[in-house]
Amino acid sequence: MGRAFVYVILGGGVAAGYAALEFARRGVAHGELCIISEETVAPYERPALSKGYLLPEAPARLPSFHTCVGANDERLTPKWYKEHGIELVLGTRVKSADVRRKTLITATGETISYEILIIATGARALKLEEFGVRGSDAENVCYLRNLADANRLVAVMQTCTGGNAVVIGGGYIGMECAAALATNRIKVTMIFPEAHCMARLFTPKIAEFYENYYKSKGVKFIKGNVLTSFENDSEGKVKAVILKDGTRLLADMVVVGIGIRPNTGLFEGQLHLEKGGIKVNGRMQTSNTSVYAVGDVAAFPVRLFGNEIRRLEHVDSARKTARHAVAAIMAPKTTGDLDYLPFFYSRVFTLSWQFYGDNVGSVIHFGDFNSGRFGAYWTNKGVIVGAFLEGGSREDYEALAKAVRFKAAVKDTHELESAGLEFALRASQQAAPDGGLLVERLSYTRYATAGVAVALSIAAFAYWYGRRRRVW
């Protein structure tokens, strides 16, 4: 017994929703496309789970944040999929895949065949057990990766007002969950092995600002340390955590955010893997020409970095790789390689930052860290390769995106530090003949630089997303 489709999207996260919308707009026929997801709901904007979903007042709830509202686009409810003839196969786990035979076998034994497969399986949260720590299955130990995790976290938070929460990990999930916990009037202690928070992206100086802000909200930090074990009460709940140096912390709840691992298992030995994900070309096509991969699971060439293969764990990458894969499938003659500008953002408390490019080379900080309006440039071989800004306007973020995309040339790092944001504002308007950017003196004339539509759309969306729909 089985079903057959022309196109199958395996995975029901953010990428699946954006791919479905692109398919619909490119004229996919009714009955040709299905989405297979282990979750029981239609694709939704996953960033909402660590932001608006955890708010104590007027929290975000479905159907308000189904894809693709995160990009100020259509909201794809189950009704939308039905109207467009797209089949949602929800609550379904695929236990095996055969890319040669073009078949997927579900946990119930059903065979689903395809002509073209898009792998959008995303990633799973790393568990403490993988690092030798037992007990994370206790009911007051929470992870956050999907809607079920978020519901569990909310339920535990509601029993802990005024209590103690320990957050394991100082990355995206740790920082955003710590902010949510503090907003819910829970006392928070963050623990991570690095010297400062967000160590993969932040410089020590940038991290210091955010750590101090968190401290002003009552959050405590224990850095350079790791969890080694739990103490449990008679009901099996965690009542304390024990650290490597012997420190014992009382805990009414624990939130774990120690990274993710791409879900590649079904395709190991069948497709080429790299950087922990499934390797694809600039059209998101894998080593099997009938199979594409998008989102967290895809390792793709980034033109800005000389086509170096990268796997980018962020919602913006999921959205854009999904759309590009569908374009390559439906219009192969007119779709070239993806030219992606790496982009990351976060919002915690009243703070909001954005980052573009790569954080390699020399770093130059600028702005006023005391007022909370500051940033940084990363330079390598005399050009801007990365830029960070806290508290910017839409115009500011657009300028940063352009300066990074066009690799604005830096003649004098002292001038760069002194000019600060103004460097990006003027650099974004001066295209050099060879396609790069060269900035020598201040210029206040504003005009659009040709060929930066992608950078502009990224910055415009992020500004809207952070400022206008704060509930998400």
Q: 125, 182, 127, 189: which is closest to 157 by C-alpha?
A: 182
pLDDT in tens, 204-257: 999 999 999 999 999 999 999 999 999 999 999 999 999 999 999 999 999 999
Determine the pLDDT at residue 452: 42
Burial of residue 85 (number of CB atoms within 10 Å: 0-12, 13-18, 19+): middle
Examine the pLDDT at 444 and tell me if it is beyond 50: no
d(CA 400, CA 389): 8
pLDDT in tens, 391-407: 999 999 999 999 999 99
Residues of the chain with pLDDT > 90, as a percent, come to 89
What tokens appear for 394 in the block?
């839409």
Determine the pLDDT at residue 451: 38
Strand partners of residue 308: 302
Examine the pLDDT at 431 and tell me if it is beyond 90: no
What tokens appear for 2 in the block?
């089985």
Q: Which helix (H) or strand (E) holds 351?
A: strand 351-357
Examine the pLDDT at 464 and tell me if it is beyond 70: no
Tell me, letter by letter, the H, E, C secondary structure of 172-230. Answer: HHHHHHHHHHHHCCCEEEEEECCCCCCCCCCCHHHHHHHHHHHHHCCCEEEECCCEEEE
Examine the pLDDT at 430 and tell me if it is beyond 90: no
The model's confidence at residue 137, banded by pLDDT at 50, 70 and 90, is confident
Examine the pLDDT at 161 and tell me if it is beyond 80: yes
pLDDT in tens, 265-291: 999 999 999 999 999 999 999 999 999
Q: 331, 330, 333: which is closest to 28 by C-alpha?
A: 330
Examine the pLDDT at 472 and tell me if it is beyond 70: no
